[in-house]
Structure 1
Amino acid sequence: MPLVIIYPFMKRVTYWPQLVLGLAFNWGALAGWTAVSGGMDWAVALPLYAAGVSWTLVYDTIYGHQDKRDDVLVGVKSTSLLFGDHTKAVLSGFSTATIGLLCLSGYMNGQGLPFYTTVVGAGGAHLIWQLVRVDINSPAACWSTFKSNTWFGAIVLSAILADMAYNHLTADHDTKDDEG
């Protein structure tokens, strides 16, 4: 809870409040992993958490660009102001890190080809599309692009579900082969 409490104040202290937001928002990856698995596998959960933090830096920096003029007037800081005209280049790095960390987490969890194909193919394409599409000087474009991140979340969920379905189908097939 400390991260949730300090996040609003970080806008007055650092140009990285989106990092604090990411640390706070994505805490659920660690809690969720523990709740579902009954324990903590840091090799899986930590890269998943870091991927979420990196993704938060992407979408909230885009979101912040719609408020940057007001932020300067009232004296608050953000990664949108820090990155400025270099936003797309910097967010390309965070987008790459997001995909890489999701893949590392998947590898450590034994995910298969459907997971990687979906995360890298569709997830990577969506993040690239966002960075190509967004006009960081247009609040409407920033808002629209920010909202499109629900699709990225859906892509990651689809990757997990596709991998689960594939594993279920191949396990059934392997069981029938063993019986026959």
Structure 2
Amino acid sequence: MRVISGSARGRRLKELQGMDTRPTTDKVKESLFNIIQFEIEGRSVLDLFGGTGQLGIEALSQGAERCTFVDARREAAALIRENLKATGLEKAGRVVQGDAISFLSGCRERFGVIFLDPPYQTQLLEQTLELVSKIDILSEHGIMICESPAERELPPLAPPYEKGREYRYGRIKLTVYRRQGSDPRS
């Protein structure tokens, strides 16, 4: 697993052993960053189910201002710190070891980009989508990318959130949500 573009391009990232972490495949990661390539520069990013940290690290490598990584597992949080150091991006990353729902419930920060890639066999994706929209932590014109099994149908969210395109890659699906901004004409 490597960083595919930007300042840390080509740097190898360490992975967690075992089946508890399902890293995003290189093909899906490359497609994801092609989708949001013009949405990253200077933005604050939330990588909510950090795992190895590869999505947030890729965003930092491609010009995000900062990234908050959240993972409940101690070994995942430690690995994210290692991967940030290995890529030279540790100053722009903040690692929180803790439960995603608890983190969101206490969050007082807004993010321009949010990555949601929880374990597939849980209902965490739907729960976090609902909570993100309820507490409204995505900044105006922000983008949220969800990775899920291809057959899983994700819900629409209440305005100002809007469900956008879905992209399928074999058994994996990326769903894009956007937060609309205020209309300058009104």
Compare CA radii of gyration and give the structure with the larger one.
1
Give yes or no for TM over 0.5: no
What TM-score comes out, normalization by structure 2 length? 0.33
Which is bigger in relative contact order (C-alpha 8 A, separation at least 6)? 1
Comparing both structures, which one devotes a greater share of its residues to strand? Answer: 2
